[in-house]
Amino acid sequence: MDADSKLICSWLIGDRSADAACEFMKDLASRLANRVQLTTDGYSVYLNAVEQAFGSDIDYAMLVKIYGETSESEKRYSPAECIGAKRESITGSPDKKHISTSYVERQNLTMRMHMRRFTRLTNAFSKRVEHHVAAVALHFMYYNFIKIHSTLRGTPAMAAGVTDHLWEMTDVVRLVEEKEAADAEAKRKAKDAREGAEGQAFGHSGNSTIKASRRFY
């Protein structure tokens, strides 16, 4: 998430594995044109993921939170109380006053408020991963291009210069329809090419059979 424009630059549905972290960071790096300052939480897999995706071309820091002890019953339903945080510079020269995860943590709350499937301790969770991915994609499209943020007086996409106008849901539907039409056309062309290749192969095979038959008879 860009702290200035509040634009969600990249997102990924996956597990907490090192492979997922690498995929996530590589996708983020592919969407950025300039050197940036990046802050992650203290999850260790980000160290190698950021190194693979950005190399030394980044100012990277970790914000490691320190949690107090809680009872076993409280751990099941809520995170432990945060009693402090430690800023650690990892790569480059990150500005310490900008080492923060507050904006993305607030975005996590927004996501949970906008999508019922993220609400804990309910049966509203996604039953199929395809539906979950679609719901998250729709949320971020709405958040980036349609939802007006009071502090920005526009959308994150407008603040970041990605678009020059406020989008509506009809624009999103149009994008979906264009993508579906393009996919259908690509499948049709692939099918025609495959059938054409099979027809040519059948023609060559038939000619060979006829010639061989003439030799035998």
Total number of domains constituting the chain: 2
Q: Same domain for 110 and 197?
A: no
Distance in angstroms (rounded) separating the CA atoms of residues 110 and 124: 17
Q: Same domain for 189 and 114?
A: no
pLDDT of residue 202: 62
**92-113: average pLDDT:** 93
Within-domain flag for 167: no
**Torsion angle of C-alpha atoms 70, 71, 74, 78, degrees rounded to 10:** 20
Q: The whole model's pTM is what?
A: 0.78
Distance in angstroms (rounded) separating the CA atoms of residues 116 and 125: 8
- Taking alpha carbons only, the member of 110, 139, 159, 155 closest to residue 4 is 159
CB atoms within 10 A of CB 38: 23
Give me the domain span that covers residue 80. 18-127
Within-domain flag for 90: yes
pLDDT tens digits, 143-202: 999 999 988 999 999 999 999 999 999 999 999 999 999 999 999 999 988 888 777 766
- Reading the block at residue 1, the tokens are 């998430």
